Amino acid sequence: MPRPRKMRFVQTPPSVSTFVPEEPPPWGPGEVVLPVEGFEAIRLADFEGLDQGTAAIMMNVSRQTFGRILAEARKAVAEALVMGKVLRIQGGHFQFPPRHRRRRRRRGGYGRCF
């Protein structure tokens, strides 16, 4: 039985989930699916300009895993652009990062006599 996959953190979901070519190719339309974590990897590495180590920490994965996610995402985008296919951003194994909550300060504690 394989080890369960670690959840990847995604800061915000994509605002647009489908990209369609203006003119369909003569051999018929095709479709490429880009997982949401692949979209996030492209956003962090190419759009934000972060190095892979920093981006991997933000996504809660190892640097090697981030590199693999990024390579697969770039391949999917390239295939959609070169072959004129529809690009759908959907699915994947991700969650939104937990929000930091304010903690109430406790007064007193062990060994204090007030």
Task: Give the DSSP letter of residue 44.
Answer: I
The shares of helix, strand and coil residues in the chain, as percent rounded to the nearest 5, are 35, 10, 50
- The CA distance from 75 to 34, in Å, is 10
Residue 38 lies in a domain: yes
Residue 64 lies in a domain: yes
**Tell me, what's the pLDDT at 108?**
58
**Tell me, what's the pLDDT at 4?**
82
Q: What percent of the chain has pLDDT over 90?
A: 56
Is residue 18 classed as helix, strand or coil in its secondary structure? strand
Q: State which residues form the domain around 50.
A: 8-21+29-94
**Tell me, what's the pLDDT at 92?**
82
Residue 65 lies in a domain: yes
In tens, the pLDDT along 12-55 reads: 889 999 999 888 778 778 999 999 999 999 999 999 999 999 99
Residue 67 lies in a domain: yes
Tally of domains within the chain:
1
Residue 49 lies in a domain: yes
Residue 1 lies in a domain: no
pLDDT band (50, 70, 90) for residue 105: low
Residue 2 lies in a domain: no
Residue 62 lies in a domain: yes
What is the CATH classification number for the domain harbouring 48? 1.10.10
Highest mean pLDDT: which of 5-14, 21-30, 56-65, 101-110? Answer: 56-65
